[in-house]
Structure 1
């Protein structure tokens, strides 16, 4: 299987897991605020990665991949905040953080290798 499609599937799975996680957060102001932020940044990372796959130049690819990286890092901080305030399933948050760390390393490496 082509690695790009494997990575695309990982981003799709990640965004779906984020959406399902956010659905289960408490329905108070804090849960809604951080849930909405996480839903946007996690989904945006996947969508920006999809856009990166459709670019025509290395410069465009690096730009879209950089946006992907930014959204992943935002998601990581958001989940750490949710951890600190003990919102959401501990096991799911740890699983999401693990996947985030791996995706961040992968995208950072791709960007580094694409920059001349």
Structure 2
């Protein structure tokens, strides 16, 4: 349970940072298309983590976290694109990218652990 609360907190904190970053880029660079994409994927990570709390089964839980993982990867893409097009400085990019990669690692770990637990449960039931 502690692992889930960590990912829940970190994904929410990351979403707040994404919102603030998108506000900053939109205001200072008048860029709205890429930031809109970043906003959608970056906030979706935490939304899917939150949805996993109400999963109907172990498979549904894994599915919600798999969506969060995909959104995390998409967020990395938008951050890379914003950096490559000079909308983000190296510091802005690096900090956000590191946090997103950390989230990705946590999410992947949770998925692998849950899959292993489901497999073990099936073996025990035989």
TM-score, scaled to structure 2: 0.83
Tell me the matched-pair count: 113
In structure 2, how many angstroms separate the alpha carbons of the residues matched to 1:22 and 1:88? 10
Q: CA deviation at 1:113?
A: 1.7
**Alpha-carbon contact 2:45-2:68 (below 8 Å) kept:** yes
SS in 2 for 1:24: helix
The answer to whether the aligner puts 1:114 opposite 2:118 as a matched pair is no
| Contact 2:41/2:71, CA 8 A, preserved across alignment | yes
**Which one has a bigger Cα radius of gyration?**
2
How far off its partner does 1:99 sit?
A: 0.8
Per the TM alignment, residue 19 of structure 1 is displaced from its structure 2 partner at its CA by: 0.4
Structure 1 alignment gaps of length 5 or more: none
**1: distance between equivalents of 2:110 and 2:79?**
24
Q: Distance in 2 between matches of 1:6 and 1:112?
A: 16
- Give the superposed CA RMSD: 1.4
**TM-score in terms of structure 1 length:** 0.90
User: Which structure 1 residue ranges, 4+ long, deviate > 3 Å from structure 2?
Assistant: none
